Chains A and B, each alone.
Chain A
Amino acid sequence: MRTKRRNWGAFGFLLPATIIYLSVIVIPVFYSFYISLFRWNGISKMQWVGLSNYITLFTKDPIFHISIRNNLIWIALTLFLTMSVALLLAVLLNKQFHGRTFFRGFFYFPSVIAPIAVSIIWRWMYEPNFGFINQFAHTMGFTFFQTWLSNPKTSLYAIFAANLWAVVGQTMILFLAGLQTISVDALEAATIDGAGAIKRFIHISIPYMRETFIIVFATLIIAGMKVFDIVMGLTAGGPNNSTEMLSTYMYSQSFRYNNVGMGTTVAAVMVLIMLFIIVPYISFTAKEH
């Protein structure tokens, strides 16, 4: 009798979270998958088309292909560049010296600025005639001229660089936390055995940080799939759809062209791709607990 009452109480405590979670996330997610099976402009009658939206996307939608490619490029770039820069900063800022707290705070600071504000700052940095980058290059004696954002060849990388500036601090903090888990004894033992700094890092620090690396990998890949604000603020997917991401394509299909069926299909594909990442990650996290 007593345990039964106790569990009713537990439901009471879970109730508000459950109601909100169901109404904001669970039901809309299933509703989205449902809408993706229709041709619909969001207002008039829905027209059942089965899986035809999915087939169209994969077989004859070049912009969708560009979007997937861009997300993959983005993920590859973050796993290589964001991770390297963050790890470098973390290792430097893990040393004992005056001002390290200041530097940690300094490199983390761009992460707390709204991505939309970041994108406006970088719009101006990249401005071809008066912006910082071209002006600076000019001052340094370079004569080249580049329209960073309106050139399809450079625009994606320009956005990535702006994003790197903004978010690298977050990954740095994760690595800093990971570096604390390394056993000092193991490092000292290796030093006595004559291992140099680089050897120690590869053979002791990195294995100790296995969990940290998994978390960093997962967060960077998920962030790479979700990236939206900074692209929206800098190019909105242009020029000529060259910087379109799944997220921006979903947005423009749904809310600019009222192609709601297609928009939700893109969102559904995003989720399906992410499930491949999430399921192993969640099972890992759950095991840790």
Chain B
Amino acid sequence: MTLTGKQQKHFYLLLLYALLLLIALFWIAPMITLVLTAIKSKRDFYSGLSLFSFPEQIAWRNFLMALTRGRLLTYMKNDLIISGFKVPIGIFIEAMAAFALTRLKLKNATPIFIFFLVGMMLPFQIALVPISVIYNKLKLTNTYFGLFYVYIGFGLSYGILILRGFFLGIPKEMDEAAYVEGCSKWQIFLRIILPMAKPAIATLFIVDFLATWNEYLLASVIINDNALKTVPVGLMTFVGEHGTDYGLLCAGVLISVIPVLAVYLIFQRYFVEGMSGAVKS
């Protein structure tokens, strides 16, 4: 049997969909499991209700307990504060550095750039013990400042990489014209470069927000006070306290994922653009 060109095209398209749906089925299973577990009570489990079936009644109690007794509300508030400080301050500092590296005729711009780039590859572990020792001395453990300060430090490399790449693409004539008109460096930075870099900053903002929101290692070393923990560290505490109550655990995870999902759905296009931007630069 020979297929005409059009039939062949349809056949391949069908094959493509079938293959994608098959892979997608594997990929969605954990999410479905998460939801189906979070809505079941302990009793549903003991009564032998299968994992794949719906309970008679959604166990809202799981969600309520996760938020209050599981302290997820506190953890989310803390994470929001930390990210709220880290992301804008970090991006501003990274933009300043990227501005100096691309706009101010610095002699050793490339070596300085490489110096900042190295931090991206280093594992956090190599700075962990000194930071915890110094923080203990300076009484910075269990403070918001202590945590977002190290986050800014570890975010510099990536931020400078992305912003430098973008700044290089802004035509030099823009700032030369401004110099002629008598603008200072700060004015050029604030009024010309930053507004023009909006797309890069938006991407960085979202990627950075999620990375900060999700970070576990540094937070687990710097924060051990339950009232100050961020979501990932809090979730681990949650596991320690309610180890096998999977309905409750899944409700907690689901709640912690919802803000991330919202950010992701609203700003989805920035992710794909941002990641490909990193490749191009």
Assess the A20–B125 pair: CB atoms within 8 A.
no
Q: How many residues does chain B have at the interface if contact means C-beta atoms less than 8 Å apart?
A: 90
Interface pick from A152-160, A175-183, A185-193: A175-183
Q: Which residues of B contact A11 (CB under 8 A)?
A: 100
How many residues from A make CB contacts under 8 Å with B? Answer: 95
A68 interface residue, CB < 8 Å from B? no
Q: Hey, which chain B residues are within 8 Å of A115, CB to CB?
A: 214, 216, 232
A110 to B257, CA, bound (A): 10
Q: Does B169 have its Cβ within 8 Å of any Cβ on chain A?
A: no
Q: Is the Cβ of A13 less than 8 Å from the Cβ of B130? A: no
**Are B23's CB and A286's CB within 8 A?**
no
Is residue B1 contacting chain A, with contact meaning CB distance below 8 A?
no
Decide if A32 touches B100 in the complex (CB within 8 Å). no
The contact string, 1 if C-beta is below 8 Å from chain A, for chain B 251-263, is 0110011001101
Contacts of A211 in B (CB 8 A): 279
- Check B216–A105 contact: CB distance below 8 A: no
Does A31 lie at the interface of the complex (its beta carbon under 8 Å from any beta carbon of B)? yes
- Once bound together, how far apart are the Cα atoms of A228 and B107, in whole Å? 39
Q: Give residues of chain A (249-289) contacting chain B, Cβ–Cβ below 8 Å.
A: 250-251, 254-255, 260, 263-264, 266-268, 270-271, 274, 277-278, 281-282, 285-286, 289
0/1 interface trace, chain A 28-65, chain B, CB 8 Å (1 if under): 11011001000000100000000000000000000000
Closest B residue to A170 using CB positions: B275
Interface presence of B183 (CB below 8 A):
no
Interface residues of B in 74-121 (CB under 8 A from A): 93-94, 96-97, 99-101, 104-107, 110, 112-114, 116-119, 121
Told that A21-B116, A271-B123 touch, could you supply 20 new A-B pairs with CB distance under 8 A? Answer: A10-B104, A14-B101, A25-B119, A97-B13, A106-B28, A107-B27, A110-B27, A114-B231, A114-B256, A116-B232, A124-B37, A125-B29, A135-B50, A165-B27, A212-B279, A247-B123, A260-B129, A264-B129, A282-B121, A289-B113
A and B contact pairs by CB, cutoff 8 A, 12 listed: A6-B105, A11-B100, A106-B24, A107-B23, A113-B260, A124-B249, A165-B30, A246-B125, A267-B125, A267-B126, A278-B118, A282-B117
